[in-house]
Protein backbone atom coordinates (compact mmCIF):
# COMPACT_ATOMS: atom_id res chain seq x y z
CA UNK A 1 0.00 0.00 0.00
CA UNK A 2 1.25 3.51 -0.85
CA UNK A 3 2.49 5.57 2.07
CA UNK A 4 0.03 8.42 1.54
CA UNK A 5 -2.88 5.97 1.53
CA UNK A 6 -1.67 4.75 4.93
CA UNK A 7 -1.56 8.30 6.27
CA UNK A 8 -5.06 8.88 4.92
CA UNK A 9 -6.22 5.77 6.81
CA UNK A 10 -4.62 7.27 9.93
CA UNK A 11 -6.40 10.59 9.29
CA UNK A 12 -9.76 8.90 8.71
CA UNK A 13 -9.29 6.92 11.92
CA UNK A 14 -8.66 10.11 13.88
CA UNK A 15 -11.69 11.74 12.22
CA UNK A 16 -13.96 8.82 13.10
CA UNK A 17 -12.56 8.48 16.62
CA UNK A 18 -13.13 12.14 17.46
CA UNK A 19 -16.60 12.50 15.95
CA UNK A 20 -18.59 9.30 15.55
CA UNK A 21 -18.82 8.06 19.19
CA UNK A 22 -20.36 11.40 20.24
CA UNK A 23 -22.57 11.74 17.16
CA UNK A 24 -24.28 8.39 17.74
CA UNK A 25 -25.33 9.43 21.25
CA UNK A 26 -28.07 11.76 22.46
CA UNK A 27 -27.33 15.04 24.24
CA UNK A 28 -25.82 18.23 22.87
CA UNK A 29 -24.65 21.76 23.66
CA UNK A 30 -27.45 24.33 24.06
CA UNK A 31 -26.91 26.20 20.78
CA UNK A 32 -26.90 23.01 18.74
CA UNK A 33 -30.12 21.77 20.34
CA UNK A 34 -31.76 25.13 19.67
CA UNK A 35 -30.78 25.13 16.00
CA UNK A 36 -31.97 21.54 15.60
CA UNK A 37 -35.29 22.40 17.26
CA UNK A 38 -35.86 25.38 14.93
CA UNK A 39 -34.95 23.27 11.89
CA UNK A 40 -37.25 20.45 12.99
CA UNK A 41 -40.07 22.95 13.53
CA UNK A 42 -39.54 24.33 10.04
CA UNK A 43 -39.65 20.83 8.54
CA UNK A 44 -42.90 20.12 10.42
CA UNK A 45 -44.63 23.28 9.29
CA UNK A 46 -44.05 25.44 12.37
CA UNK A 47 -42.62 28.67 11.08
CA UNK A 48 -41.41 29.23 7.53
CA UNK A 49 -38.14 29.55 5.63
CA UNK A 50 -37.85 33.27 6.25
CA UNK A 51 -39.73 33.43 9.55
CA UNK A 52 -38.28 30.57 11.67
CA UNK A 53 -40.08 29.54 14.84
CA UNK A 54 -38.60 28.32 18.14
CA UNK A 55 -41.20 27.84 20.89
CA UNK A 56 -44.66 29.30 21.36
CA UNK A 57 -43.36 31.43 24.24
CA UNK A 58 -39.64 31.98 23.55
CA UNK A 59 -38.87 33.44 20.10
CA UNK A 60 -42.09 32.44 18.31
CA UNK A 61 -40.46 34.42 15.52
CA UNK A 62 -36.72 33.70 15.57
CA UNK A 63 -34.50 36.35 14.01
CA UNK A 64 -31.36 35.91 16.09
CA UNK A 65 -29.52 34.54 13.05
CA UNK A 66 -30.04 34.49 9.28
CA UNK A 67 -32.17 31.53 8.17
CA UNK A 68 -30.09 29.50 5.70
CA UNK A 69 -28.70 26.83 8.05
CA UNK A 70 -32.19 26.18 9.42
CA UNK A 71 -33.53 25.87 5.88
CA UNK A 72 -30.84 23.37 4.86
CA UNK A 73 -31.08 21.38 8.10
CA UNK A 74 -34.88 21.25 7.84
CA UNK A 75 -34.34 19.32 4.61
CA UNK A 76 -32.47 16.69 6.60
CA UNK A 77 -35.43 16.45 9.00
CA UNK A 78 -37.76 15.95 6.07
CA UNK A 79 -35.47 13.23 4.74
CA UNK A 80 -34.50 11.41 7.95
CA UNK A 81 -37.38 12.24 10.30
CA UNK A 82 -37.34 13.62 13.84
CA UNK A 83 -35.01 11.08 15.50
CA UNK A 84 -32.08 12.36 17.57
CA UNK A 85 -29.55 11.40 14.89
CA UNK A 86 -30.87 13.71 12.16
CA UNK A 87 -28.86 16.79 13.14
CA UNK A 88 -25.89 14.49 13.73
CA UNK A 89 -26.05 13.25 10.15
CA UNK A 90 -26.17 16.89 9.08
CA UNK A 91 -23.13 17.74 11.24
CA UNK A 92 -21.20 14.75 9.89
CA UNK A 93 -21.92 15.82 6.30
CA UNK A 94 -20.71 19.33 7.09
CA UNK A 95 -17.51 17.94 8.66
CA UNK A 96 -16.86 15.78 5.58
CA UNK A 97 -17.42 18.78 3.27
CA UNK A 98 -14.94 20.76 5.36
CA UNK A 99 -12.34 18.01 4.92
CA UNK A 100 -12.93 18.08 1.16
CA UNK A 101 -12.60 21.87 1.13
CA UNK A 102 -9.30 21.76 3.01
CA UNK A 103 -7.86 19.15 0.65
CA UNK A 104 -9.00 21.08 -2.43
CA UNK A 105 -7.36 24.29 -1.20
CA UNK A 106 -4.17 22.35 -0.48
CA UNK A 107 -4.09 20.74 -3.90
CA UNK A 108 -4.87 24.05 -5.60
CA UNK A 109 -1.87 25.92 -4.23
CA UNK A 110 0.67 23.06 -4.34
CA UNK A 111 1.87 22.72 -7.90
CA UNK A 112 3.80 19.44 -7.75
CA UNK A 113 2.10 16.05 -7.68
CA UNK A 114 4.35 14.96 -4.82
CA UNK A 115 3.23 17.85 -2.60
CA UNK A 116 -0.43 17.39 -3.57
CA UNK A 117 -0.26 13.90 -2.06
CA UNK A 118 0.24 15.43 1.38
CA UNK A 119 -3.35 16.72 1.40
CA UNK A 120 -3.97 14.58 4.50
CA UNK A 121 -1.54 16.73 6.53
CA UNK A 122 -3.73 19.86 6.93
CA UNK A 123 -6.73 17.65 7.67
CA UNK A 124 -4.81 15.84 10.43
CA UNK A 125 -3.67 19.15 11.93
CA UNK A 126 -7.24 20.48 11.68
CA UNK A 127 -8.43 17.47 13.67
CA UNK A 128 -5.77 18.15 16.31
CA UNK A 129 -7.58 21.36 17.30
CA UNK A 130 -9.86 20.49 20.29
CA UNK A 131 -12.40 23.12 19.25
CA UNK A 132 -12.94 21.42 15.89
CA UNK A 133 -14.26 18.08 17.12
CA UNK A 134 -16.30 19.80 19.84
CA UNK A 135 -17.99 22.13 17.35
CA UNK A 136 -18.92 19.43 14.86
CA UNK A 137 -20.36 17.30 17.65
CA UNK A 138 -22.64 20.17 18.60
CA UNK A 139 -24.33 21.34 15.39
CA UNK A 140 -23.08 24.95 15.38
CA UNK A 141 -23.89 27.50 12.67
CA UNK A 142 -20.19 28.30 12.25
CA UNK A 143 -19.62 24.79 10.87
CA UNK A 144 -21.90 25.39 7.89
CA UNK A 145 -20.72 28.95 7.35
CA UNK A 146 -17.17 27.59 7.40
CA UNK A 147 -17.93 25.24 4.51
CA UNK A 148 -19.26 28.10 2.39
CA UNK A 149 -16.31 30.40 3.16
CA UNK A 150 -13.77 27.62 2.62
CA UNK A 151 -15.09 26.80 -0.85
CA UNK A 152 -15.53 30.51 -1.61
CA UNK A 153 -11.82 30.99 -0.96
CA UNK A 154 -11.06 27.95 -3.13
CA UNK A 155 -12.97 29.30 -6.14
CA UNK A 156 -11.62 32.84 -5.74
CA UNK A 157 -8.03 31.57 -5.53
CA UNK A 158 -8.67 29.31 -8.52
CA UNK A 159 -9.97 32.32 -10.46
CA UNK A 160 -6.91 34.39 -9.57
CA UNK A 161 -4.44 31.59 -10.21
CA UNK A 162 -5.90 30.56 -13.57
CA UNK A 163 -6.98 34.13 -14.51
CA UNK A 164 -10.55 33.03 -15.19
CA UNK A 165 -13.20 35.49 -14.02
CA UNK A 166 -15.90 32.85 -14.32
CA UNK A 167 -14.73 31.11 -11.12
CA UNK A 168 -15.56 34.29 -9.20
CA UNK A 169 -19.26 33.59 -9.75
CA UNK A 170 -19.44 30.46 -7.54
CA UNK A 171 -17.13 32.29 -5.12
CA UNK A 172 -19.61 35.16 -4.92
CA UNK A 173 -22.57 32.81 -4.51
CA UNK A 174 -20.81 31.01 -1.66
CA UNK A 175 -20.03 34.30 0.10
CA UNK A 176 -23.72 35.23 -0.04
CA UNK A 177 -24.61 31.80 1.35
CA UNK A 178 -22.06 32.28 4.15
CA UNK A 179 -23.65 35.62 5.02
CA UNK A 180 -27.10 33.98 5.06
CA UNK A 181 -25.71 31.39 7.47
CA UNK A 182 -24.11 33.58 10.15
CA UNK A 183 -24.18 37.19 9.01
CA UNK A 184 -21.26 39.55 8.20
CA UNK A 185 -18.70 37.13 9.69
CA UNK A 186 -19.02 35.21 6.42
CA UNK A 187 -17.95 38.10 4.19
CA UNK A 188 -14.18 37.93 4.74
CA UNK A 189 -13.42 36.00 1.47
CA UNK A 190 -14.18 39.30 -0.34
CA UNK A 191 -10.64 40.33 0.67
CA UNK A 192 -8.96 37.33 -0.98
CA UNK A 193 -8.21 39.14 -4.29
CA UNK A 194 -6.61 42.01 -2.35
CA UNK A 195 -4.54 39.54 -0.30
CA UNK A 196 -3.47 37.76 -3.48
CA UNK A 197 -2.46 41.06 -5.07
CA UNK A 198 -0.39 42.10 -2.05
CA UNK A 199 1.43 38.76 -1.78
CA UNK A 200 2.12 38.37 -5.51
CA UNK A 201 2.55 42.11 -6.17
CA UNK A 202 -0.11 42.20 -8.86
CA UNK A 203 -2.32 44.92 -7.43
CA UNK A 204 -3.99 46.17 -10.61
CA UNK A 205 -4.98 42.67 -11.65
CA UNK A 206 -6.18 41.82 -8.14
CA UNK A 207 -8.20 45.02 -7.77
CA UNK A 208 -9.99 44.27 -11.04
CA UNK A 209 -10.95 40.82 -9.78
CA UNK A 210 -12.01 42.28 -6.41
CA UNK A 211 -14.36 44.67 -8.23
CA UNK A 212 -15.80 41.80 -10.29
CA UNK A 213 -16.34 39.76 -7.11
CA UNK A 214 -18.11 42.60 -5.31
CA UNK A 215 -20.32 43.24 -8.35
CA UNK A 216 -21.26 39.54 -8.47
CA UNK A 217 -22.13 39.60 -4.76
CA UNK A 218 -24.23 42.75 -5.10
CA UNK A 219 -26.02 41.35 -8.15
CA UNK A 220 -26.79 38.04 -6.39
CA UNK A 221 -27.92 39.81 -3.22
CA UNK A 222 -30.17 42.18 -5.16
CA UNK A 223 -31.66 39.27 -7.08
CA UNK A 224 -32.43 37.41 -3.86
CA UNK A 225 -34.03 40.50 -2.28
CA UNK A 226 -36.30 40.90 -5.31
CA UNK A 227 -37.16 37.21 -5.55
CA UNK A 228 -37.64 36.76 -1.79
CA UNK A 229 -38.77 40.00 -0.11
CA UNK A 230 -39.41 38.04 3.11
CA UNK A 231 -35.69 37.19 3.19
CA UNK A 232 -34.86 40.89 3.08
CA UNK A 233 -37.17 41.51 6.03
CA UNK A 234 -35.59 38.60 7.91
CA UNK A 235 -32.12 40.11 7.51
CA UNK A 236 -33.34 43.56 8.59
CA UNK A 237 -34.81 42.06 11.78
CA UNK A 238 -31.58 40.14 12.37
CA UNK A 239 -29.60 43.36 12.16
CA UNK A 240 -31.99 45.19 14.49
CA UNK A 241 -32.44 42.47 17.09
CA UNK A 242 -29.05 40.76 17.18
CA UNK A 243 -26.17 42.22 15.18
CA UNK A 244 -26.33 45.92 16.01
CA UNK A 245 -26.96 45.37 19.75
CA UNK A 246 -24.06 42.87 19.81
CA UNK A 247 -21.72 45.34 18.11
CA UNK A 248 -22.82 47.97 20.63
CA UNK A 249 -22.06 45.50 23.44
CA UNK A 250 -25.70 45.40 24.48
CA UNK A 251 -26.17 41.64 24.04
CA UNK A 252 -24.66 38.74 26.01
CA UNK A 253 -21.31 40.24 26.95
CA UNK A 254 -19.06 37.25 27.62
CA UNK A 255 -15.68 38.89 28.20
CA UNK A 256 -14.17 42.10 29.57
CA UNK A 257 -11.26 41.99 27.14
CA UNK A 258 -11.68 42.20 23.37
CA UNK A 259 -8.52 40.17 22.84
CA UNK A 260 -9.76 37.13 24.75
CA UNK A 261 -10.77 35.50 21.47
CA UNK A 262 -7.16 35.75 20.22
CA UNK A 263 -5.83 34.12 23.38
CA UNK A 264 -8.32 31.30 22.84
CA UNK A 265 -7.09 31.01 19.25
CA UNK A 266 -3.48 30.56 20.39
CA UNK A 267 -4.53 27.95 22.94
CA UNK A 268 -6.48 25.97 20.34
CA UNK A 269 -3.60 26.11 17.87
CA UNK A 270 -1.00 25.24 20.51
CA UNK A 271 -0.11 21.77 19.14
CA UNK A 272 0.45 22.80 15.49
CA UNK A 273 2.29 25.94 16.65
CA UNK A 274 4.49 23.87 18.98
CA UNK A 275 5.42 21.56 16.08
CA UNK A 276 6.25 24.54 13.89
CA UNK A 277 8.35 26.19 16.61
CA UNK A 278 10.25 22.95 17.24
CA UNK A 279 11.15 22.40 13.58
CA UNK A 280 11.94 26.09 13.06
CA UNK A 281 14.43 26.09 15.94
CA UNK A 282 15.97 22.85 14.72
CA UNK A 283 16.33 24.23 11.19
CA UNK A 284 17.97 27.40 12.45
CA UNK A 285 20.40 25.49 14.68
CA UNK A 286 21.38 23.16 11.82
CA UNK A 287 21.51 25.55 8.86
CA UNK A 288 21.19 29.14 10.15
CA UNK A 289 18.58 29.57 7.40
CA UNK A 290 14.79 29.85 7.46
CA UNK A 291 13.94 29.98 3.77
CA UNK A 292 10.71 28.05 4.25
CA UNK A 293 9.01 30.99 5.99
CA UNK A 294 9.11 32.94 2.71
CA UNK A 295 6.61 30.62 1.04
CA UNK A 296 3.97 32.88 -0.56
CA UNK A 297 1.27 30.22 -0.29
CA UNK A 298 1.64 30.33 3.47
CA UNK A 299 1.39 34.14 3.43
CA UNK A 300 -1.89 33.96 1.52
CA UNK A 301 -3.50 31.51 3.92
CA UNK A 302 -2.29 33.26 7.09
CA UNK A 303 -3.66 36.58 5.85
CA UNK A 304 -6.98 34.93 5.01
CA UNK A 305 -7.04 33.34 8.47
CA UNK A 306 -6.37 36.73 10.07
CA UNK A 307 -9.19 38.42 8.15
CA UNK A 308 -11.51 35.62 9.33
CA UNK A 309 -10.59 35.89 13.02
CA UNK A 310 -9.22 39.32 13.97
CA UNK A 311 -12.53 41.17 13.31
CA UNK A 312 -14.08 39.12 16.13
CA UNK A 313 -12.44 41.49 18.61
CA UNK A 314 -14.96 44.18 17.62
CA UNK A 315 -17.57 42.81 20.03
CA UNK A 316 -17.40 41.77 23.68
CA UNK A 317 -19.83 38.98 22.81
CA UNK A 318 -17.29 36.26 22.07
CA UNK A 319 -17.38 32.48 21.92
CA UNK A 320 -14.45 30.24 21.05
CA UNK A 321 -16.44 28.50 18.35
CA UNK A 322 -16.68 31.78 16.40
CA UNK A 323 -13.12 30.87 15.33
CA UNK A 324 -14.17 27.69 13.51
CA UNK A 325 -14.29 29.20 9.96
CA UNK A 326 -10.74 30.54 10.34
CA UNK A 327 -9.14 27.32 11.65
CA UNK A 328 -8.72 25.61 8.21
CA UNK A 329 -6.62 28.52 6.96
CA UNK A 330 -4.39 28.53 10.02
CA UNK A 331 -3.72 24.80 9.64
CA UNK A 332 -3.15 25.18 5.89
CA UNK A 333 -0.54 27.83 6.70
CA UNK A 334 1.19 25.71 9.31
CA UNK A 335 1.03 22.60 7.10
CA UNK A 336 2.77 24.42 4.24
CA UNK A 337 5.54 25.54 6.60
CA UNK A 338 5.88 22.09 8.20
CA UNK A 339 5.88 20.15 4.94
CA UNK A 340 9.64 20.38 4.15
CA UNK A 341 10.49 18.92 7.57
CA UNK A 342 7.77 16.28 7.72
CA UNK A 343 8.45 15.21 4.14
CA UNK A 344 12.03 14.31 5.05
CA UNK A 345 10.83 12.28 8.04
CA UNK A 346 8.07 10.52 6.09
CA UNK A 347 10.35 9.78 3.13
CA UNK A 348 12.81 8.18 5.55
CA UNK A 349 10.15 6.00 7.19
CA UNK A 350 10.72 2.28 6.76
CA UNK A 351 8.10 -0.10 5.44
CA UNK A 352 7.93 -1.67 8.89
CA UNK A 353 6.91 1.67 10.42
CA UNK A 354 4.30 2.24 7.71
CA UNK A 355 2.88 -1.26 8.28
CA UNK A 356 2.69 -0.58 12.02
CA UNK A 357 0.84 2.73 11.41
CA UNK A 358 -1.54 1.00 9.01
CA UNK A 359 -2.34 -1.91 11.33
CA UNK A 360 -2.70 0.30 14.41
CA UNK A 361 -5.00 2.66 12.51
CA UNK A 362 -7.22 -0.13 11.22
CA UNK A 363 -7.38 -1.77 14.65
CA UNK A 364 -8.33 1.51 16.34
CA UNK A 365 -10.88 2.22 13.61
CA UNK A 366 -12.53 -1.15 14.19
CA UNK A 367 -12.62 -0.63 17.96
CA UNK A 368 -14.13 2.85 17.61
CA UNK A 369 -16.80 1.66 15.17
CA UNK A 370 -17.72 -1.25 17.45
CA UNK A 371 -17.89 1.10 20.44
CA UNK A 372 -20.07 3.49 18.43
CA UNK A 373 -22.50 0.70 17.53
CA UNK A 374 -22.74 -0.32 21.19
CA UNK A 375 -23.32 3.30 22.28
CA UNK A 376 -25.89 4.14 19.59
CA UNK A 377 -28.89 5.91 21.08
CA UNK A 378 -27.40 6.22 24.55
CA UNK A 379 -26.63 9.54 26.23
CA UNK A 380 -23.40 11.53 26.05
CA UNK A 381 -24.74 14.19 28.46
CA UNK A 382 -27.93 15.30 30.29
CA UNK A 383 -29.13 11.70 30.65
CA UNK A 384 -31.63 12.25 33.48
CA UNK A 385 -32.98 15.44 31.96
CA UNK A 386 -33.45 13.85 28.55
CA UNK A 387 -35.06 10.69 29.89
CA UNK A 388 -37.62 12.81 31.75
CA UNK A 389 -38.27 14.93 28.67
CA UNK A 390 -38.86 11.85 26.51
CA UNK A 391 -41.29 10.54 29.13
CA UNK A 392 -43.13 13.88 29.24
CA UNK A 393 -43.29 14.08 25.43
CA UNK A 394 -44.87 10.62 25.28
CA UNK A 395 -47.75 11.85 27.46
CA UNK A 396 -48.15 15.53 26.62
CA UNK A 397 -49.50 16.29 23.12
CA UNK A 398 -47.24 18.00 20.59
CA UNK A 399 -47.60 21.77 20.72
CA UNK A 400 -48.58 21.87 24.40
CA UNK A 401 -47.56 24.82 26.54
CA UNK A 402 -46.62 23.77 30.09
CA UNK A 403 -46.63 26.14 33.05
CA UNK A 404 -43.54 26.19 35.20
CA UNK A 405 -41.46 28.21 37.64
CA UNK A 406 -39.30 31.12 36.57
CA UNK A 407 -36.20 29.05 37.43
CA UNK A 408 -37.14 26.19 35.10
CA UNK A 409 -38.30 28.55 32.38
CA UNK A 410 -34.80 30.07 32.35
CA UNK A 411 -33.12 26.65 32.15
CA UNK A 412 -32.37 27.16 28.46
CA UNK A 413 -31.20 23.61 27.78
CA UNK A 414 -34.49 22.32 29.24
CA UNK A 415 -36.41 24.71 26.99
CA UNK A 416 -34.38 23.59 23.98
CA UNK A 417 -34.69 19.86 24.66
CA UNK A 418 -38.43 20.20 25.28
CA UNK A 419 -38.87 21.89 21.92
CA UNK A 420 -36.49 19.55 20.05
CA UNK A 421 -37.95 16.32 21.45
CA UNK A 422 -41.67 16.96 21.57
CA UNK A 423 -42.34 20.53 20.42
CA UNK A 424 -43.41 21.44 23.96
CA UNK A 425 -43.09 25.02 25.24
CA UNK A 426 -42.58 26.30 28.79
CA UNK A 427 -44.28 29.39 30.24
CA UNK A 428 -43.80 30.90 33.71
CA UNK A 429 -46.23 33.82 33.33
CA UNK A 430 -49.56 32.12 32.61
CA UNK A 431 -51.52 29.10 33.83
CA UNK A 432 -51.91 26.02 31.64
CA UNK A 433 -53.36 22.52 31.91
CA UNK A 434 -49.93 21.10 32.79
CA UNK A 435 -47.35 22.34 35.28
CA UNK A 436 -43.70 21.31 35.63
CA UNK A 437 -41.73 21.45 38.87
CA UNK A 438 -38.23 20.42 39.78
CA UNK A 439 -38.29 17.45 42.16
CA UNK A 440 -37.91 18.38 45.85
CA UNK A 441 -38.79 22.02 45.15
CA UNK A 442 -41.49 23.74 47.20
CA UNK A 443 -45.00 23.69 45.74
CA UNK A 444 -46.96 26.87 46.50
CA UNK A 445 -50.54 26.67 47.77
CA UNK A 446 -52.09 27.76 44.49
CA UNK A 447 -50.34 24.98 42.56
CA UNK A 448 -51.04 22.31 45.19
CA UNK A 449 -54.68 23.35 45.36
CA UNK A 450 -55.34 23.38 41.62
CA UNK A 451 -53.04 20.69 40.23
CA UNK A 452 -52.48 17.01 40.90
CA UNK A 453 -49.38 14.95 40.24
CA UNK A 454 -49.29 12.89 37.05
CA UNK A 455 -47.69 9.50 37.70
CA UNK A 456 -44.87 9.45 35.16
CA UNK A 457 -41.93 8.08 37.18
CA UNK A 458 -39.72 11.08 36.42
CA UNK A 459 -36.27 11.49 37.97
CA UNK A 460 -35.54 15.23 37.99
CA UNK A 461 -38.98 16.73 37.58
CA UNK A 462 -42.58 16.43 38.73
CA UNK A 463 -45.39 16.81 36.22
CA UNK A 464 -48.78 18.05 37.40
CA UNK A 465 -52.11 18.37 35.64
CA UNK A 466 -54.93 20.74 36.42
CA UNK A 467 -57.64 19.10 38.55
CA UNK A 468 -60.96 18.45 36.88
CA UNK A 469 -63.63 20.94 37.86
CA UNK A 470 -66.44 19.49 39.99
* Per-residue pLDDT tens over the stretch 139-187: 999 999 999 999 999 999 999 999 999 999 999 999 999 999 999 999 9
Residue 470 has pLDDT above 60, yes or no: no
Q: Please, where are the H alpha helices in 110-140?
A: 113-116, 120-127, 130-137
pTM over 0.75: yes
Spell out the residues 6+ positions from residue 292 whose beta carbon is closer than 8 angstroms to its own.
Answer: 283, 337, 340
Residue 173 CA, distance from chain mean position: 20
- Average pLDDT of the chain is 92
Predicted confidence at residue 349, as pLDDT, reads 82
Extents of the domains making up the chain: 3-370, 383-466
Residue 58 has pLDDT above 60, yes or no: yes
439 versus 446: which is more confidently predicted? 439
Predicted confidence at residue 52, as pLDDT, reads 97
Helix (H/G/I), strand (E/B), else coil: 379? strand
Q: Quote the Cα angle for 141-167-158, to 5°.
A: 85
Predicted confidence at residue 51, as pLDDT, reads 96
Calculate the alpha carbon distances from 309 to 55, 176, 192, 293 in Å: 33, 19, 14, 21
Residue 74 has pLDDT above 90, yes or no: yes
How many of the other CB atoms lie within 10 Å of CB of 240? 11
Q: What is the pLDDT of residues 349-404, one digit of tens each?
A: 888 889 999 999 999 999 999 999 999 999 999 999 999 999 999 999 999 999 99
Predicted confidence at residue 292, as pLDDT, reads 65
Q: What is the pLDDT of residues 282-332, one digit of tens each?
A: 877 777 676 666 788 999 999 999 999 999 888 888 889 999 999 999 999
Q: What is the pLDDT of residues 104-144, one digit of tens each?
A: 999 999 888 888 999 999 999 999 999 999 999 999 999 99
Q: How confident is the model at residue 441 (pLDDT cuts 50, 70, 90)?
A: confident
Residue 426 has pLDDT above 90, yes or no: yes
Predicted confidence at residue 442, as pLDDT, reads 80
Percent of the chain topping pLDDT 70: 98
CA distance 434 to 139: 31
Predicted confidence at residue 81, as pLDDT, reads 95
Residue pair 116/110 in contact by the 8 Å Cβ criterion: yes
Angle formed by the axes of helices 130-137 and 120-127, nearest 10°? 80
Residue pair 125/301 in contact by the 8 Å Cβ criterion: no
- The 8-class DSSP code of residue 104 comes to H
Amino acid sequence: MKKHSIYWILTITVFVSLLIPALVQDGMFLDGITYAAISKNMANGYGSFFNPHYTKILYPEFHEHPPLVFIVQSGFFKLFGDAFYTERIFSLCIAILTVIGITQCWRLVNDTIEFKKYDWLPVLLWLSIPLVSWSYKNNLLENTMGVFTLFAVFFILKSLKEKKVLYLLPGGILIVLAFLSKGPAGLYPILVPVIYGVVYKSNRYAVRYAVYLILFILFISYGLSIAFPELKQNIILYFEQQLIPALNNEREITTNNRFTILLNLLIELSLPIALLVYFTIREWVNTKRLDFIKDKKAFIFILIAITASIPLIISLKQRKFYLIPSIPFYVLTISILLLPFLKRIIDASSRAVLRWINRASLLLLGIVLLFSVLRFGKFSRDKEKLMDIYAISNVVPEGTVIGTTRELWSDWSLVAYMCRVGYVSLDSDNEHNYYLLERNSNMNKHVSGNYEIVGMNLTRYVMLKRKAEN
